[in-house]
Amino acid sequence: MKRRNFILTGSLGAAGLGITACNREGRPESRKEIPGIPSDPPKYKSMKSAHGKPVLGSNDKIVLALIGAGGWGTNLVVRLARMKENIEFKYVCDVDDTRGGRAISELGKFQGYDPERVRDMRKVFDDGDVDAVMISTPEHWHALATVWACQAGKDVYVEKCISHNLTEGQKMAEAANKYERVVQSGHQNRNADYVRQARNYIAGGKLGDIVNITVDELLPGPVPFNEKESGNAPDTIDWDLWLGPAPKVPYNVSRNKSWFYYWEYGGGKAMTNECIHQLDMTRIILGDPGMPESVISFGGRTLFDDNRDTPDFLTSTFDYGDFTINLRAGEFAPYMEKVSTEVRYSDVLFPDWNNLGTKVVIYGTEGMMMIGRMGGGWQVFGNEGKLVDQATGLFPLNDHMQNFLDCVRSRETPNGDIIQAHMSSALLHYANMSHRLGSEKLNVDPDTERVVNNENALALENGTYRPGFEIVV
């Protein structure tokens, strides 16, 4: 079995150098042992959350724009239009002219005119008529698009994973507060009644003390991958604008269509593109704990020795002191499946937990809870597998988007606020960093949110940006 961990070397130095002195518990004695690691908390932590005064009445029309018109972005705006919440879409923006056609035609039917198609999102931001934008681009564009939108006075609905690295999430939260914008993440479980019920159940002590949580994102596979040769970009796409903050490289259809397999654009299909939902849901249920004390990951390219950067399987452990979270993410299990549509929209059915690849299992001293993401509900089991309690749950996407629209009008904090979205996303960034640094155990300072025992982590936390695409709040 071959495994490629993509350990960072060269200009960043060898992984594992410069580790701080540690106490008996393995935690760093002082962050000052490694020069250059930021010692101040991120700016958003000292800012009072602000969303401005209402400028729209409860029934006023909200003018929107879609940025990133792929399949999921199209699904979002069509669902919104069907909700008939006095909205209209003025723009559909995508750098690829082959995308967005269905969104434009479907929206045209609902609102009586077609939205304008544009390639450059900055045209949307320059239009004072636009109240809010929905961002459904590849991950490497999420942060910059969100910051630009906030600076232009637009509210934002941004899809998961909201950031491409740790610092981006901090800057997004800072921008939302600085420019008094409502920023809702695409973490739909934040508006799921059954998830809130699970949180209250555990807070009431009915599972006893929580010891361990397992989070699964085990997708069907294995998925073979044959990277196509690079060449000239077709006239239908602005490749330079698609790359945006990422390094300049020749056009490659594999990078374009399977971007989540490349570190420059994403953090892995099973990781930042999928299991962010389960990790965020786990944090909700546990009462939104802060950053872990340490993180360690193991895995790599175990099934195919191909040109993909991101692992086909990764297992990570997040140590919170009183409890641990174990994450298992990969694409190798044809016998595993997501919560079915039938279960998602049912108030009587539960998933087959044995074959559910997108579940969370919470182990307490008095019982075990199994819960499905974005519909599926939860069940609690005790001794000898006895069913103790349960609650069904529905797919909360419409409620989630309704919450965003309500907050655009009221200026209240949305349930999927950017700060909690950042803290959930940071877990996956830590996990990926551990893997890329050779399965190094990374100690985290809860105040600065920085890794304090590996100098090479800083470059991964900050990312790199092409001139003209830097993130400046």
**Distance separating alpha carbons of residues 307 and 304, to the nearest angstrom:** 9
Q: Which of 286, 360, 368, 357 is nearest to 326 (CA)?
A: 360
CA 465 → CA 248, 250, 315, 460, distances in Å? 10, 17, 29, 12
- The answer to whether the CB of 149 falls within 8 A of the CB of 156 is yes
- The answer to whether the CB of 277 falls within 8 A of the CB of 160 is yes
Q: How high is the pLDDT of residue 302?
A: 84
**Distance separating alpha carbons of residues 41 and 237, to the nearest angstrom:** 40
pLDDT tens series, the chain, 473 aa: 333 333 333 333 333 323 233 333 444 444 445 778 999 999 999 999 899 999 898 889 999 999 999 999 999 999 999 999 999 999 999 999 999 999 999 999 999 999 999 999 999 999 999 999 999 999 999 999 999 999 999 999 999 999 999 999 999 999 999 999 999 999 999 999 999 999 999 999 999 999 999 999 998 989 889 999 999 999 999 999 999 999 999 999 999 999 999 999 999 999 999 999 999 999 999 999 999 999 999 999 888 888 899 999 999 999 999 999 999 999 999 999 999 999 999 999 999 999 999 999 999 999 999 999 999 999 999 999 999 999 999 999 999 999 999 999 999 999 999 999 999 999 999 999 999 999 999 999 999 999 999 999 999 999 999 999 999 99
Q: At CA 221, angle to CA 215 and CA 226, rounded to 5?
A: 125
**Distance separating alpha carbons of residues 473 and 454, to the nearest angstrom:** 27
Q: Which helix (H) or strand (E) holds 328?
A: strand 324-331
- The answer to whether the CB of 162 falls within 8 A of the CB of 143 is yes
Which ranges constitute the DSSP H helices of 83-154? 101-111, 121-125, 142-151
**Distance separating alpha carbons of residues 253 and 450, to the nearest angstrom:** 35
pTM: 0.93
Return the CATH fold of 45-189+398-418. Answer: Rossmann fold (3.40.50)
* Residue extents of the structural domains in the chain: 45-189+398-418
Beta bridge partners of 426: none
Q: Which long-range contacts (CB under 8 A, 24 or more apart) does 368-371 make?
A: 368/207, 369/198, 369/201, 369/202, 369/207, 371/194, 371/195, 371/198, 371/281, 371/285
Q: Which residue has the tokens 């998602």?
A: 344
Buried b (16+ CB within 10 A) or exposed e, 380-410: bbeeeeeeeeebbbbbbbeebbebbbebbbe
Sheet of 62-67: strand order equals 116-118, 87-93, 62-67, 132-135, 155-158, 183-185
**Distance separating alpha carbons of residues 416 and 424, to the nearest angstrom:** 11
Beta bridge partners of 213: 325, 362
- The answer to whether the CB of 34 falls within 8 A of the CB of 20 is yes
**Distance separating alpha carbons of residues 162 and 159, to the nearest angstrom:** 6
Q: How high is the pLDDT of residue 303?
A: 87
Query: How many residues appear in the chain?
Result: 473
**First and final C-alpha spacing in the chain:** 45
Q: How high is the pLDDT of residue 7?
A: 37
**Distance separating alpha carbons of residues 145 and 67, to the nearest angstrom:** 9
Q: How high is the pLDDT of residue 87?
A: 97
Sheet of 324-331: strand order equals 387-391, 378-381, 368-372, 359-364, 210-219, 324-331, 313-319, 294-300, 442-443
